[in-house]
Chains A and B, each alone.
Chain A
Amino acid sequence: KAGVTQTPRYLIKTRGQQVTLSCSPISGHRSVSWYQQTPGQGLQFLFEYFSETQRNKGNFPGRFSGRQFSNSRSEMNVSTLELGDSALYLCASSLEQFSYEQYFGPGTRLTVT
Chain B
Amino acid sequence: GNSVTQMEGPVTLSEEAFLTINCTYTATGYPSLFWYVQYPGEGLQLLLKATKADDKGSNKGFEATYRKETTSFHLEKGSVQVSDSAVYFCALISGGSYIPTFGRGTSLIVHP
Contact = CB atoms under 8 A, between A and B. Distances in A.
Which secondary structure characterizes the binding site on chain B? strand
Interface size class of B (residues with CB under 8 A): 20 to 34
Contact of B43 (A48, A98, A101, A107): A107
**Most B CB atoms within 10 A — which of A58, A100, A105?**
A100
B98 A56 contact: yes
B43 A43 contact: no
B69 interface: no
Contacts of B105: 42-43
A102 interface: yes
Interface size class of A (residues with CB under 8 A): 20 to 34
A106 B46 contact: no
A97 B49 CA distance: 18
Interface of A: 4, 6, 42-43, 45, 48, 56, 58, 90-92, 97-98, 100-107
